Amino acid sequence: IKVNFLPAELSREVDLAVVVDVLRATSTIVTALHAGASRVVPVETVEEAFAMKQREPWVLLAGESGGHMIPGFDLGNSPLDFKEKLVRGREIVMKTTNGTSAALHSKGARKIVAASFLNLARVIEEIKKESGSVVIQCAGSGGAFSMEDVLLAGAAASAFEDRLLDDASRAAVFLFRSAKLPLDQFLIDNCDHAKKLFSIGYFEDVVFCAKINMYDLLPVWRENGFVRG
């Protein structure tokens, strides 16, 4: 099991890519599918999202820029906005700052899943089933290290024997084991993006994204987006 702390383009040599953007894209993808969305399609640009809506007017556009909802979109990137009555049966086209491109850059891998604390147990189960190579791909922030993503990578990697880990995954395990619980408080105290979300009024999102094993659900990539695995 390898952990990429920074964004990378994954190739066919990777059997399983585990994409992580704890705050908030992958937490939101898990929540959207749990609320009944049929598919979450990540896109690179806002223009691409609007073009999809023009072709397929039934889709919902979701995402953020600077943490806030994008004008003209139907939803932001707050997992708490993805209520069943809004998203059940709907396809969601999503554009976020880092998380959606981390997913798209993982497309070379044989299988791609989305991971968050909300579905940690399912992620570990999926890695256990994989006999080939596994990369936990952290989305980071603007090309830089994001501690909350590495914490999640460590939480997942800590379920495996040392001989299966590389130095980066061991470092992630050390970090996770040294984090003081409760996790939401740890994120607010130590992670830049949690502090930013807190400062712009999304404190509840940080608390929610720090919940462990809320959902028994694994988003799996099929064709152009994540569906319930």
Least CB distance to ligand MLT at residue 27 (A)? 8
User: Of 79 and 173, which has the nearer Cβ to ligand MLT?
Assistant: 79
All residues at 6 or more sequence positions from 138 whose CB lies less than 8 Å from its CB, including other chains:
3, 4, 5, 6, 7, 20, 21, 102, 145, 146, 149, 150, 153
Q: Which residues bind ligand MLT (CB under 6 A)?
A: 21, 23-25, 64, 67, 77, 96-99, 197
Least CB distance to ligand MLT at residue 21 (A)? 5
Cis check for the bond before 24: say yes or no (omega within 30 of 0).
yes
Least CB distance to ligand MLT at residue 38 (A)? 21
User: Of 68 and 110, which has the nearer Cβ to ligand MLT?
Assistant: 68
Alpha helices, H only, the chain: 25-34, 46-55, 84-87, 99-104, 120-129, 147-157, 167-178, 183-190, 192-199, 203-209
Residue nearest to ligand MLT (CB): 96
Least CB distance to ligand MLT at residue 13 (A)? 26
Phi/psi for 220 (5° steps) reads -125, 140
Least CB distance to ligand MLT at residue 166 (A)? 25
| Two tokens, residue 120 | 């940690």
User: Of 89 and 143, which has the nearer Cβ to ligand MLT?
Assistant: 143
Is 179 strand, coil or helix?
A: coil
User: Of 97 and 169, which has the nearer Cβ to ligand MLT?
Assistant: 97
User: How far is it, in rounded angstroms, from Cα 67 to Cα 141?
Assistant: 12
User: Of 37 and 173, which has the nearer Cβ to ligand MLT?
Assistant: 37
All residues at 6 or more sequence positions from 163 whose CB lies less than 8 Å from its CB, including other chains:
none
